[in-house]
Structure formats: structure tokens, C-alpha cells
Copies of this chain bind each other. A is one copy, B any other.
Amino acid sequence: MLLSQTCIYGLRASALLASKSRADYTTIRELSDELDISFHFLTKVLQKLTKSELLESYKGPNGGVKLARTASDIKFMDVVLSIDGDSLLHECALGLPGCGILEPCPMHDQWSGLKQNIVTMMKDITLKDLANNYNSTHLTFDSFNKGNQV
């Protein structure tokens, strides 16, 4: 799996927040219910995004979380970096720590090309894009969670 489960949860919650495009705060409980993710676990995931200043949180009644910037200004990659870190950018396909331009492993050239494409995509796509696609499918995220399609 390319991204950790934690990261995927963060991406889904971020995309859902973006699709709501609300100015006020959304509770994590609402997000966890819609996404069918454990409330407590999602709380911890979103804390990372808050610390990275991708989200803003507010305690107490009418509190919750919201995007810290406009959805078009937060990239897929921002969420990945915040949660999974930058290991994806540097990792050798064969897991060799010394692999690089000077001492390429047998996979280096092929893999770094592909990796660059992945990174480009992640830097290209914003939460707004995710939210747009999300809305255009006329599907709730919840429907995915039921696994009703192969």
C-alpha cells in the first residue's frame, strides 16, 4: 500500500470537509459518522493535520475542525507529508538506503521516473479537486464503505 491507513483517513476527512465548503466548524463526530471511521482514531489523525496548520480546530459548543485555507490551496501532497512524512519521495524501490544518482540500484532509473509522476500528481491535486469529483459522483463516501462494488 502506497499510503498508510492513517494517511488515507486524513485524506478522506479532508476531502469531505472540502466538499462541505462550510465557513463554520464541523465536528469530528460528524465526519467520523459519515466516513465510518472510529471517532477517537480520526481525532488523533486530524490532530496531526491541525498541528501542520492544514486544519483549524476549535473546542467547545459549535466547535470542530475546518480547513485552514481554501480547498484549492491545500494539496493532496500537503496531507500526505503531514501524516506519512516524506519517505515516499526518497524511498528506493528495493529499499536500499544508499540508492541515488551516484550509486543507483538496478531499479533506480525506472522507479524514480514513476515516483516523480506520483509526486507530481499529489502536488497537482487539491482538496477542491477531490471535493469536485466527490460531488460529481453523487455518491456519499459512506456508500464506498459498504464495499458494494468489485
Contacts and interface: CB of A to CB of B under 8 A. Distances in A.
Interface of A: 1-3, 5, 8, 11-12, 15, 87-88, 91, 93-100, 102-108, 110-111, 114, 117-118, 121, 125, 129-134, 137, 139, 141, 143-150
A2 B137 contact: no
Contacts of A143: 98, 103
B94 A8 contact: yes
Given A104-B137, A106-B131, A94 B145 contact: no
Contacts of A96: 12, 141, 144-145
Contacts of A103: 137, 139, 143-144, 148-149
Nearest to A96: B144
A95 to B, nearest CB: 4
B121 A114 contact: yes
A106 B15 contact: yes
B98 A147 contact: yes
A141 to B, nearest CB: 7
Contacts of A146: 97-98
